[in-house]
Structure 1
Amino acid sequence: MSSPSLAVDRFGDPPPGARQLARGITATWWYTLTAIVFLELFLVLIWALRVFVVPGDVVAPLVVGAGGLVWWLSTILLLVSYRRGADGEPVAAWVRIVPFVLAVAFGVSSGVVADSWLLAVMPVAQSLVLLHWPRGVRRRIVLFVTFLLLVLAFVDGMRGTVDGGVPEWLPSLYAVTIPAMSVSSLWWWDVLVTLDRARASESRLAVTQERLRLATDVHDLQGHHLQVIALQLELAERLMERDPDAGLVQLRAARASVDEARQGTRDLATRFRSVPLGDEVANARDLLSAAGIRVEADIAQDAGEAPASALGPVIRETTTNVLRHGGGARARLSLRRDAGGWRYEVSNDVDPRTERVAVGSGLDGVRRRIAEAGGTIVVRDEGEDFTVIVTVPAGEIATGRGEVGR
């Protein structure tokens, strides 16, 4: 079963953690399967030991032991069928029929050789509760088979099959309680499946809402501009014969409206394609590490609240700058809250044997962007270390001009 993550990105794709969630729910299923299989195997073992201690009887241990192993293997088919039923996958009828036939054969043969009504019914009861019943029905079935097995255990005791000693009663007690123990494990698995489906539904809902919001924004943006352009062109057409100059003014206004619509569309696309700042810094760290640079990263827990439109290009450009011009062995990235805003700092050592290259136009573009956002940028070239420090206001859009230092 695949497990969608609780959150999705703006395009509906699950984040990297979704694969970990899918592996987690699969691992939990294997824990559940292993627990039930171990319970059944232990049950077969203690009943085989119980009949083995009877002197002179070699058939009973063989029937209970070998037949119990066959029945134990057949219940794995029921557990696989249970898993597929939870996933909504079709299950062949023989996957359920064969285990029940083996359970009846094992129960009758072992019950006869062990002279135990409890052992005769227990395999069928256990196989019955492993089916994928509706929740209310399964609870009633478990209560019924547990009560039936409890009655049969007392019947065996009254018949003298089981004496009053504690060791003799342990296999019977285990046979009575194993259906309830198995169902409790499956109940925990059902809870996990329900939670996983809730995560999937929430993910799909988030994707739908985000697409609806995008469609609404595009409709509002383009609809407004197209209506204005249509009116301006209609007015220009009417004015062209009587007042060509006024008509030309309207044509120019329509062209300006086209430019505004185009810029608005770009801004909208940029907003939906923006990457959270925490992911930007993490990507920069991974990129530098892949280049053989030892990276130390200090990322605030709430880094996702930082202004992505201002700091995102800064992080990408400074990372490129380290790769192109650094040539060193270490780098440090920091994104923390500052007084009234955010502070991003990247520092790297410079190999003295590397020819120094003048910083290109990339940082000049960063300066302009940060200045428009009302922030500051400081570039420090101290010989063996190169540092870029950027501070921006907390808001996504800031007014005012920032100070640019060097």
Structure 2
Amino acid sequence: MSSPSLAVDRFGDPPPGARQLARGITATWWYTLSAVLFIELFLVLIWALRVFVRPGDVVAPLVVGAGGLVWWLSTVLLLSGYRRGVQGEPVALWTRVVPFALAVAFGVASGVIADSWLFAVTPLAQSLALLLWPRGVRRRVVVFATIVLFILAFIDGMRGTVDGGIPGWLPSFYAVLIPAMSVSSLWWWDVLVTLDRARASEARLAATQERLRVATDVHDLQGHHLQVIALQLELAERLMARDADAALEQLRAARVSVDEARQGTRDLATRFRSVPLGDEVANARDLLSAAGIAVEADIDVDADAAPASALGPVIRETTTNVLRHGAGSRAHLSLRRDAGTWRYEVTNDVVPGAERGSTGSGLDGVRRRLAEVGGTLEVREQGDDFTVIVAVPEAESRPAAGEGER
């Protein structure tokens, strides 16, 4: 049986790695939001300083600075709406109208105070760039806005509202480039969302393929046996009046077919529910790490070939023991193939000076199950370390001849 996608487990649920990816997308959004807000805040700062250097004017820096902060805060609404729109959620109209109204008001006020066409248009151009445009439209909007801002900066320079020299032109060029810089940050967010959607699609496809495979196996198994049982019962019905013994034989054969169908269904369910040993060890590692234990894991590349029926309960029981009886500081897990034997070993620290009596009924039950398949369980105590070593013959991991071919 082929392994399902890493993006989905055998029950169709996303594994811990998928949840970590979702958390990573959220964190990336906050980075993107912070980057755009920093770009705008820096623009407001240099505008306020540019107006502040004018002698005898106290109102202008206050208006540009305070109005710029209000406009800066209003862009949070645009960015929030952008995120919801990318994720397919409805966006309220007021979250766009209010920021645009504030952008126009701030632009007009700062443009009049600073006597700058560039100051007047930049807030509106930035707000337009932060909208969620259809594919291909946003690029045209940004290019058009950048060209317009560049022309307005050139006009301001020709009118003498921009100080001569490179230092005086730097704020203007920064204002011209701010839509492009903001959109480049949003582009990275769009790429990550696209990758997340591809992962989700892969997860759903893998789950669908797994369900289809199981449905096909059940159909083939039950269909074959039910057809045989129907023929056997029909034959028994025909023989009942002429040859009762022969009819009875057919009834017995039908009962055997029922038992075979039932056993085949049970075997199929067992194969579907079983978890590869590599995943078992990985799950144990994640569980211990979530409990605050420093975990080291050494897993053989062929770990999925190990006998899950024998070692699976061992891994789960020893993980429970580490959580219940360990000191909660460190643990080491190992699953290796060694000279025809699969060897699983778990070592954890224990509370110093603690009383250590029986290893517990859980490990005793595991020892009995291992003995039935020729495996062994060994417990070692060295200093503050408690170690459980399990060895199972490699032949136990190979299916018996004809298994799965019923």
TM-score higher than 0.5 = yes
Looking at structure 1, the residues matched to 308 and 172 of structure 2 have their Cα atoms a distance apart, in angstroms, of 66
RMSD (Å) for aligned C-alpha atoms: 3.4
Matched, 1:377 2:381: no
Per-residue deviation at 1:222? 0.7
Percent identical residues: 76
Secondary structure in 2 matching 1:261: helix
What secondary structure does 2:92 align onto? coil
Identify unmatched segments of 5+ residues in structure 1: 371-375, 401-406
Distance, in Å, in 1 between the alignment partners of 2:345 and 2:270 is 24
Partner of 1:365: 369
Residues 288-344 of structure 1, C-alpha deviations (whole Å, 9 max, x = no match): 999999987532344234343453345456778x78xx9898986431133466433
Q: Which residue of 1 aligns with 2:66?
A: 66
1:89-168 matched pairs, under 5 angstroms: 89-168=89-168
- Distance in 2 of aligned mates of 1:340 and 1:386: 20
> Match for 1:390 among 354, 379, 392?
392
Gaps of 5+ in 2: none
Identify the range of structure 1 (331-340 vs 86-95) with the bigger mean alpha-carbon deviation: 331-340
Give the Cα–Cα distance (whole angstroms) in 1 for the partners of residues 187 and 289 of structure 2: 44
The CA distance in 2 between the partners of 1:205 and 1:31, in whole Å, is 31
Cα deviation 1:232-252 (Å, max 9, x = unaligned): 111112222222221111111
> Which amino acid in 2 is paired with 1:392?
E
Query: For structure 1, which segment, 288-297 or 190-199, has the greater mean C-alpha deviation from structure 2 after superposition?
Result: 288-297
Match of 1:30 in 2: 30
Contact 1:347 1:386 in 2 (8 A): yes
Provide the rounded CA distance (Å) in 1 between the counterparts of 2:69 and 2:288. Answer: 56
Alpha-carbon distance in structure 2 between the residues aligned to 1:274 and 1:380:
25
CA 1:140–1:38 in structure 2 vs 1: closer, same or farther (change >3 Å)?
Answer: same
- The 1-side partners of 2:11 and 2:364 are apart by 34
Residue 354, structure 1, aligned to residue 354, structure 2: no
2: CA distance, partners of 1:291 / 1:63: 53
Number of the residue aligned with 2:178: 178
Distance 1:27 1:293, change over 3 A: closer
1:6–1:202 CA contact under 8 A, matched in 2: no
State the alpha-carbon separation in 2 of the partners of residues 6 and 353 from structure 1.
40
Shift in alpha-carbon separation, 1:313–1:246, aligned structure 2, 3 A: farther
SS at match of 1:252: helix
**Residue 309 of structure 1 contacts residue 396 of structure 1 at CA under 8 Å; is this kept in 2?**
no
Corresponding letter in the other structure for 1:366: L
Q: Which moved more, 1:218-227 or 1:288-297?
A: 288-297
Determine the C-alpha separation between the residues in 1 that align with 2:303 and 2:359: 33
**What amino acid maps onto 1:391 in structure 2?**
P
Amino acid at match of 1:26: T
Asked whether the 8 Å contact 1:48–1:61 carries over to 2, the reply is yes
1:40 aligns with 2:40: yes
Distance 2:188 2:308 in 1: 41
Query: TM-score scaled by structure 1?
Result: 0.84
Whole-Å separation in 1 of the counterparts to 2:225 and 2:241: 25
Q: Assess if the C-alpha contact under 8 Å between 2:77 and 2:99 holds in 1.
A: yes
The answer to whether the 8 Å contact 1:343/1:389 transfers is yes
Q: Which moved more, 1:108-117 or 1:303-312?
A: 303-312
Q: How far apart in 2 are the matches of 1:30 and 1:294? A: 29
- SS state at 2:7 partner: coil
Distance change (3 Å), C-alpha of 1:241 and 1:292: farther
Deviations 1:11-31 (A, max 9, x none): 101112222111110010010
Match of 1:404 in 2: none
Is the CA contact (8 Å cut-off) linking 1:342 and 1:393 kept in structure 2? no
Deviation per residue, 1:91-145 (Å, 9 max, x gap): 1111111111111111111101101111111111001110000121110111111
The farther-off stretch of 113-122 and 346-355 is 346-355
Q: Give the Cα–Cα distance (whole angstroms) in 2 for the partners of residues 77 and 65 of structure 1.
A: 20
- Alignment match, 1:227: 227
Deviates more, 1:161-170 or 1:61-70: 161-170
Query: Which range moves more in the overlay, 213-222 or 391-400?
Result: 391-400
CA distance in 2, matches of 1:383, 1:104: 74
Distance across 2 between alignment mates of 1:158 and 1:349: 76
| Whole-angstrom CA distance in 2 between matches of 1:6 and 1:356 | 36
Inter-partner Cα distance in structure 1 for 2:245 and 2:105? 101
**Separation in structure 1 between the aligned mates of residue 174 and residue 290 of structure 2, nearest angstrom:** 56
CA distance in 2, matches of 1:356, 1:333: 19
User: Runs of 4 or more off by more than 6 Å in structure 1?
Assistant: 285-296, 317-320, 326-332, 347-352, 356-359, 381-386
* Number of aligned residues: 387
